[in-house]
Amino acid sequence: MGVKMKTIFKSISRLFLTVTLAVVMAGVTFHAAPAQADVQARIKDIVQFEGVRDNMLIGYGLAVGLNGTGDTLNNAPFTQQSLIGMLERLGVSVTDLSMTTKNVAAVMVTATLPPFSNEGTRIDVTVSTLGDAKSLEGGTLLVTPLLGADGKVYAVAQGSISVGGFTASGSSGSSVTQNIPTTGRISDGAIVEREIPFRLNSMKSTRLSLRNPDFTTAHRIVEAINKHMHADIAHAQNSASVEVSLPPGFKGDMTDLITDIDQLKVTPDQIARVVIDERSGVIVMGAHVHISTVALAQGNLTIRISETPQVSQPAPFSQGGTTTTVPRTSISVDSGSGKKVALLKEGVSLQDLVTSLNALGVGPRDIITILQSIKAAGALQAQLKVM
């Protein structure tokens, strides 16, 4: 028995034995690369500098020029009120008139104000319908102030809306829609009217915020900066922040210091993590994922019922015979009694796990269950995150 088991263990690398899992073959996507040397990254790619940030802007406006695909004014009273208010500000009185136009739509306009944007520069905006409009194709956004979180106007948007989708319908009610025709974009559609005050060059110290907080990565950033500047100017406050001060006698300001250090390269570290997206069946595993020794068995009870009805006809020249359908039912039961136990040895790496699971053709749902069971048993030395 011992010789036989050794032969089986040797057949499929050091991870899985000859294991037959009762699963349905399904597509599963693994994002994993073979073991390789640690890749270095620039500091500017793994941190954000304090104060150097985007700001969200939002506004409410009207899109006109739609080819009968705008809001139904009876169903969208806010569109009608906005249209009346705009026309009255332009000197057109429509108070006592009944409007039934379908060429106007109420829209929400959003934009991102980049850091250090100067007055007069242009930014892109996104336009989305608010009512029951069918499409923004061919529409034009009217002047729309864009507000910041403080309620002040920082930009003004206007222009022709570019839509990446379309919708078409027939007289019988059938229709086809591609992409999202109720959302559009205006390139350089807003002009910055107010700058956000931030004096980076007058600061004596700043903080670097790690995009992926990690104590080891923060320590490596500190070492790289201090070694390059030949001074003890960087200090890790925690796993997410590194404080950097101007060195004594430095000929320059904070902008010059950031320029000097943002090109320095460090090797980011990361925790062992397995991310599972149950909706798409995608499983992403970090490079440091390992599994302790554990035995794995999976047995499924499968019942297959197949109906193959047959037609029974009377004999030739028979009297009173009729053609009938005779049911034929076949039932088979697979209890999974022939399934074996898989052995995951100590220190199994990511590459071993990926190679073996792909070779076995294990489906996404089964892999998710296997990983969750291994984690529950305490054998998965990684963080398991299900999206």
Q: Which residue has the tokens 């984690």?
A: 375
Question: Is residue 135 within 8 Å of residue 167, measured between CB atoms?
Answer: yes
- Whether residue 323 is contained in a domain is answered as no
Q: Could you give the CA distance from residue 377 to residue 281 in angstroms, rounded to a whole number?
A: 23
Residues 216 and 252 in one domain: yes
Question: Is residue 39 within 8 Å of residue 362, measured between CB atoms?
Answer: no
- Whether residue 326 is contained in a domain is answered as no
Q: Could you give the CA distance from residue 383 to residue 371 in angstroms, rounded to a whole number?
A: 11
Q: Is the pLDDT of residue 279 over 90?
A: no
pLDDT category at 293 given cuts 50, 70, 90 is confident
pLDDT category at 121 given cuts 50, 70, 90 is very high
- Whether residue 293 is contained in a domain is answered as yes
- Whether residue 328 is contained in a domain is answered as no
Residues 169 and 239 in one domain: no
132-136, 183-187, 284-288, 382-386: range with lowest mean pLDDT? 284-288
Q: Look up the CATH number of the domain holding residue 243.
A: 3.30.70
Taking the alpha carbons of 70, 75, 80, 81 in that order, is the dihedral positive or negative?
negative
Residues 21 and 66 in one domain: no
Residues 166 and 206 in one domain: no
Residues 63 and 173 in one domain: yes
- Whether residue 316 is contained in a domain is answered as no
What percent of the chain lies above the pLDDT cut of 70? 71
Give the side-chain half-sphere CA count within 13 A for 205.
11
What is the pLDDT, as a whole number, of residue 189?
94
User: Which one is predicted more confidently, 170 or 234?
Assistant: 234
* Domain boundaries, position 357: 2-36+273-307+334-386
- Range with the largest mean pLDDT of 41-55, 141-155, 358-372: 141-155
What is the pLDDT, as a whole number, of residue 166?
62
- Mean pLDDT for all residues in the chain: 78
Residues 63 and 181 in one domain: yes
Residues 185 and 59 in one domain: yes
Specify the pairing of strand 166-169 against strand 122-129: unpaired
Split into its structural domains, the chain has a count of 3
Verdict on whether the full-model pTM lies above 0.75: no
pLDDT category at 384 given cuts 50, 70, 90 is confident
Q: Is the pLDDT of residue 18 over 60?
A: no
Structure tokens, 161: 């809306």
- Whether residue 329 is contained in a domain is answered as no
Which residues does 65 contact at the CB level (< 8 Å), separation at least 6? 103, 138, 139, 140
- Collapsing DSSP states into helix, strand and coil, what is residue 310? strand
- Residue 373 belongs to what H/E stretch? helix 364-376
Residues 24 and 81 in one domain: no
Question: Is residue 336 within 8 Å of residue 378, measured between CB atoms?
Answer: no
Residues 98 and 170 in one domain: yes
User: Which one is predicted more confidently, 264 or 292?
Assistant: 264
